[in-house]
Chains A and B, each alone.
Chain A
Amino acid sequence: MIIYVATLVVIVVIALALIAVFSKKLLSSIISMGFVSLGVSGLFFFLQAPDVAITEAAIGAGLSTAIFVIALKKVKKGESADEE
């Protein structure tokens, strides 16, 4: 049973990673990257590495997504200031 769930998660993670690479909008890339981290942390949990799963969920899905979004906001602000 668990192997089917894991396979489903792997497929979803690969699809989200492809979205993150090929998406035109940077924001949707960042969000799908956060979901990739979430799925990967679930896979770590299936592989009985709960400590790595906790770290991945806290840093990959939580903090780094937020920091990427802030960085994107700052870059856009700089671009619009240059155009003015």
Chain B
Amino acid sequence: MRNDTPELVKKITALFVVAILLAGFFVAFKEMPKGPSVNVNQRVSRLYVLKNVQTATKLMKSGNFFTKGMKPLRSDVPYTPIVFGKSSNLEDGAANVVTSIVVDYRGFDTLGEVTVLFLAATGVAMLLFGKEKKRKKKTEPSLIMYVGTRIAFAVIFLFGIYIFVHGHLTPGGGFPGGAVIASGILGLFLGKNGYEPNHLGLKVFESLSGMAFVIIGLTGLFSVKSFLANFLPTGTIGDLYSAGFIALIYIAIGMKVGAELSAVVNSMIVDTEEEWS
């Protein structure tokens, strides 16, 4: 559409497009084949997953789950319900299904995610972190701000560490824990003009935890013959020392994400001179 088109025509066209899209959406929604009705409260809860697992196990036992000619995968293992704090030596000891999928069964995807975040942080640093400008006289934050952010930082840092250390027991994990730690570091930046973290330390920390992730994966490759496979005993579900390598990987991810996001905050907040201008 040309630039000299009247504003009203543009608006009417946009409205028309939106109306067509909405109508198409509703038609598609109406024409969808309907299955048996599902109780929404059950659909999103653990109960439904458990029920499905039980149904699947029943079907596997009777032999109807797979087509003829295929053997049931683990029909020799009888299904027993998982009890928090009692069941031990499970296939995967994480308390949440999401955790075991994200870190254990699809751990390779998580490695990719961490790499994407690393590239994003590197890009931000490359674009923004140039030579530092001579500081103008800014208004100093008040003493209350300075002391308060320092006290809050300790609590926030501890909470972030708690989130990623308990990643296999509670919802959460490495990414939220790292983000919480970076929020604490942001508070430190706001509390004092010219606060500088140890850049080299951040980089080394981040690289070491990234390498720890890969080394844990390689240990799985050499001991269990599969990259990022669990090579530790899974223990009793609900214990801190359980779930095999999930805790180790979440600690590595948490430290890496925390260091990376802190570096992003640092390169955003520090006044710099653009090198190419």
- Residues from chain A with a CB closer than 8 A to the CB of B268 are 67, 70-71, 74
CB distance from A57 to the nearest CB of B (A): 8
Instruction: Out of A54, A59, A67, A74, name the residue touching B172 (CB < 8 Å).
Output: A54
CB pair A58 B183 closer than 8 Å: yes
CB pair B171 A50 closer than 8 Å: yes
CB distance from A83 to the nearest CB of B (A): 16
B264 at the interface (CB under 8 A from A): yes
Query: Considering the chains assembled together, what is the distance between the CA atoms of A28 and B98 in angstroms?
Result: 36
Query: Considering the chains assembled together, what is the distance between the CA atoms of A74 and B186 in angstroms?
Result: 16
A55 at the interface (CB under 8 A from B): yes
Given known A54-B171, A70-B268, contact A47–B44 (CB-CB < 8 A): yes
Given known A47-B44, A54-B172, contact A67–B265 (CB-CB < 8 A): yes
CB pair A62 B96 closer than 8 Å: no
For B24-51 the 0/1 string (1 means CB < 8 A from A) is: 0000000000000000000011000000
For A20-60 the 0/1 string (1 means CB < 8 A from B) is: 00000000000000000000000000011111011100110
B72 at the interface (CB under 8 A from A): no
CB pair B186 A66 closer than 8 Å: yes
- Residues from chain B with a CB closer than 8 A to the CB of A70 are 268-269
How many of chain B's residues have a CB under 8 angstroms from any CB in A?
21
B 56-93 contacts with A by CB, 8 A: none
A63 at the interface (CB under 8 A from B): yes
B179 at the interface (CB under 8 A from A): yes
- Residues from chain A with a CB closer than 8 A to the CB of B175 are 55, 59
Nearest B residue (CB) for A59 = B179
Given known A67-B265, A70-B268, A71-B268, contact A51–B172 (CB-CB < 8 A): yes
- Residues from chain A with a CB closer than 8 A to the CB of B172 are 50-51, 54-55
CB pair A62 B171 closer than 8 Å: no
- Residues from chain B with a CB closer than 8 A to the CB of A74 are 268
CB distance from A67 to the nearest CB of B (A): 6
CB pair A63 B173 closer than 8 Å: no
B163 at the interface (CB under 8 A from A): yes
Query: Considering the chains assembled together, what is the distance between the CA atoms of A54 and B180 in angstroms?
Result: 10
B 163-179 contacts with A by CB, 8 A: 163, 171-173, 175-176, 179
- Chain A residues with a Cβ under 8 A of chain B: 47-51, 53-55, 58-59, 62-63, 66-67, 70-71, 74
Please name the 8 residue pairs, one residue from A and one from B, whose CB atoms are nearest each other, closest first: A50-B171, A51-B171, A58-B179, A54-B176, A55-B176, A58-B176, A62-B183, A48-B44
29 A-B pairs with C-beta separation under 8 A: A48-B44, A48-B45, A50-B172, A51-B96, A51-B99, A51-B172, A54-B171, A54-B172, A54-B176, A55-B172, A55-B175, A58-B176, A58-B179, A58-B180, A58-B183, A59-B176, A59-B179, A62-B179, A62-B183, A63-B183, A63-B186, A66-B183, A66-B186, A67-B264, A67-B268, A70-B268, A70-B269, A71-B268, A74-B268
